[in-house]
Amino acid sequence: MNIALIAHDLKKQDLIDFITAYKDIFTEHDLFATGTTGKMIANETGLTIHRFQSGPLGGDQQIGAKIADDEMDMIIFFRDPLTAQPHEPDVSALLRLCDVYKVPLATNEASAEILIRGLGSGWLDWRAIKEKRVRYDE
């Protein structure tokens, strides 16, 4: 599965700690991340990460394009709900695309743990059944 990893500045270390805790599961999948987050994850975990631009420079939109092209299976986005983000419209658009295309989305450690444990147990295998996905452009 293709998994996107995103974190606001004050949540980056939380995401790295989370990935470290579940590294055995993440190792089995293709990982994508916005710029700085991806660099930090790769440096601290040794995992291979495909990096997009930084979120405010278009990285959120690049991940959104992958969602719209049915090339992203899960998003883990550790958001900072207490700090205003200059690219909040991009963030909102990304969350909306997850709903439109039925892409599982976690925005904090609690929901991410449920998704990752489910992924490790095969509970998200329905994502691989392309014929059952409803495409809005067809």
Domains of the chain in sequence order: 2-127 (3.40.50.1380)
pLDDT digits (tens, 9 = 90+) for 73-132: 999 999 988 887 766 777 889 999 999 999 999 999 999 999 999 998 888 777 666 545
What is the pTM for the complete model shown?
A: 0.88
pLDDT in tens, 1-60: 999 999 999 999 999 999 999 999 999 999 999 999 999 999 999 999 999 998 888 898
Q: Could you give the residue numbers annotated as active site?
A: 60
Contact by Cβ (8 Å): 78, 14: yes
